[in-house]
């Protein structure tokens, strides 16, 4: 797959065609052109909101491909994936994104062999550079205040998958997603659950069939010992975000081991 961080030949052609259009919106051959595909955000949101990640990778590459993009990062209670989830948030921050951290009740309050609740919360807030949203009431304004351009669940549990599929809103994460979706904006799910290919399969399918939900490509993480367990490919989170901003699901969704 062509790297989405490079300007492709097709994009260069689009830019050349745009430069030859006259004031009436016609190209040099006198044909009317639909510019809707030039900036992916026009397909997903209309012209009222710009895809800052797409624009800045062309105009200001030195500032990072995600420069100016407000990404809600909503961490769920998959404790064994905390390290990778935090690393993913740090990578997005490094790429120029503004991180709005959210944690579920369990993620913020339970200590485990993967760190105490206090240590994990401090690490996440240190990466984001701001306090995390930890309550339903603090998550509710996300949509009305347009606090996020895109919402990422970097370690979405089977429990949260089920709640989202059934529109249940009883945690900071599910409220963050619901409020964010109010603005018709994309949600990226990186699943991490032991029953993805059993009990949670129907919920994954239901969400894949809903508008504005996009999935990070999935892999079985241990088919011998945990045959129904699946974890998203953390390395593909940035690519999935860029595709989601253009209203597209990155493919293939199921990846080889």
Angle between the 82-94 and 117-128 helix axes, to the nearest 10 degrees? Answer: 10
* Residues 38-74 as b or e (16 or more Cβ within 10 Å = b): ebbbbebbeeeeebbbbebbeeeeeebbbbbbbbbbb
pTM given for the model: 0.78
Residue 177 lies in a domain: yes
pLDDT digits (tens, 9 = 90+) for 99-147: 999 999 999 999 999 999 999 999 999 999 999 999 999 999 999 999 9
Residue 37 lies in a domain: no
Residue 17 lies in a domain: no
Bridge partner list, 220: 230
Average pLDDT, the chain: 83
Residue 165 lies in a domain: yes
Residue 107 lies in a domain: yes
- Structural domains of the chain, count: 1
Tell whether the model's pLDDT for residue 182 goes beyond 50.
yes
pLDDT band at residue 157, thresholds of 50, 70 and 90? Answer: very high
Tell whether the model's pLDDT for residue 160 goes beyond 70.
yes
Residue 113 lies in a domain: yes
pLDDT of 59: 52
Assign residue 209 the CATH number of its domain: 3.40.50.1950
Residue 203, domain extent: 63-245
Question: What are the backbone dihedrals phi and psi of residue 64, each rounded to the nearest 5 degrees, phi first?
Answer: 105, 145
Residue 196 lies in a domain: yes
């Amino acid at each position: 797959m062509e790297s989405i961080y490079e300007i492709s030949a097709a994009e260069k052609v689009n830019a050349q065609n745009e430069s030859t259009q006259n004031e009436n919106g016609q190209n040099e051959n006198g044909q009317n052109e639909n510019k809707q595909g030039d900036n992916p955000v026009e397909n997903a949101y209309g012209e009222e909101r710009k895809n800052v990640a797409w624009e800045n990778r062309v105009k200001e590459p030195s500032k990072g491909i995600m420069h100016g993009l407000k990404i809600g990062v909503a961490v769920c209670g998959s404790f064994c994936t905390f390290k990778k989830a935090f690393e993913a948030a740090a990578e997005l921050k490094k790429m120029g994104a503004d991180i709005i951290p959210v944690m579920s009740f369990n993620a913020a309050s339970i200590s485990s062999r993967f760190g105490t609740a206090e240590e994990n919360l401090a690490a996440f807030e240190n990466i984001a550079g701001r306090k995390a949203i930890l309550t339903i009431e603090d998550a509710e304004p996300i949509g009305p205040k347009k606090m996020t351009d895109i919402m990422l669940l970097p370690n979405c549990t089977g429990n949260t998958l089920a709640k989202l599929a059934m529109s249940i809103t009883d945690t900071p994460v599910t409220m963050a997603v619901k409020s964010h979706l109010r603005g018709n904006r994309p949600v990226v799910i990186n699943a991490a659950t032991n029953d993805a290919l059993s009990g949670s399969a129907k919920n994954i399918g239901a969400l894949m069939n809903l508008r504005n939900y996009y999935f990070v490509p999935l892999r079985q993480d241990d088919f011998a010992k945990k045959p129904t367990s699946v974890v998203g490919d953390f390395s593909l989170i940035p690519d999935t975000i860029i595709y989601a901003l253009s209203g597209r699901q990155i493919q293939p969704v199921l990846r080889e081991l």
